[in-house]
Homo-oligomer: A and B are copies of this chain.
């Protein structure tokens, strides 16, 4: 089972993330949880979220990059759900061996360079998210990064959606329970 944690602070303004989500929404074996819609007051149901993780073998974090990392709601999910004794620390093995796929959309990729507005390559901002997964014993898959998401035309975005769908279909085929 694939669990998709989707976090967009302004879903009404979302184009790239919305298209990626639409491209995978009907796949059997995929559960999508849109955290901003589920928890408008940030009152995350920790037991429900942990149960959703328990059901999954692959956990996807799908969101636009906000201030170089995950939007606040997904960070709140990290802070509240990935607690010691469950996700890490003494007795915290719940995510051990599960896979983690980061699906992230960003703005203008040319701004990610030393002499550019973001002063770093995009890769400099990855460790915060990657290490959150790894510290919980998850296997970190090659991230699915969609740069230039504001500038891409509809056909590019549709193609990105099909590519993501293909990747998940392949995963599902490889992880189908034996008949």
Contacts and interface: CB of A to CB of B under 8 A. Distances in A.
A171 interface: no
B68 A132 contact: yes
Contacts of A135: 117-118
User: Number of copies of this chain in the oligomer?
Assistant: 2
A41 B41 CA distance: 5
A131 B120 contact: yes
A71 interface: yes
Contacts of A75: 66-67, 69-72, 75
A64 to B, nearest CB: 10
A43 B41 CA distance: 8
B69 A72 contact: no
A82 B67 contact: yes
Contact of A79 (B9, B43, B118, B128): B9
Given A69-B69, A75-B75, A128 B128 contact: yes
A80 B42 CA distance: 14
A71 B117 CA distance: 25
Max chain B C-beta neighbours (<10 A), residue from A42, A73, A118? A42
A131 B122 CA distance: 12
Contacts of A67: 75, 78-79, 82, 128, 132
Contact of A120 (B9, B66, B80, B127): B127
A68 B134 contact: no
Interface in A119-154: 119-120, 124-125, 127-128, 131-132, 134-135
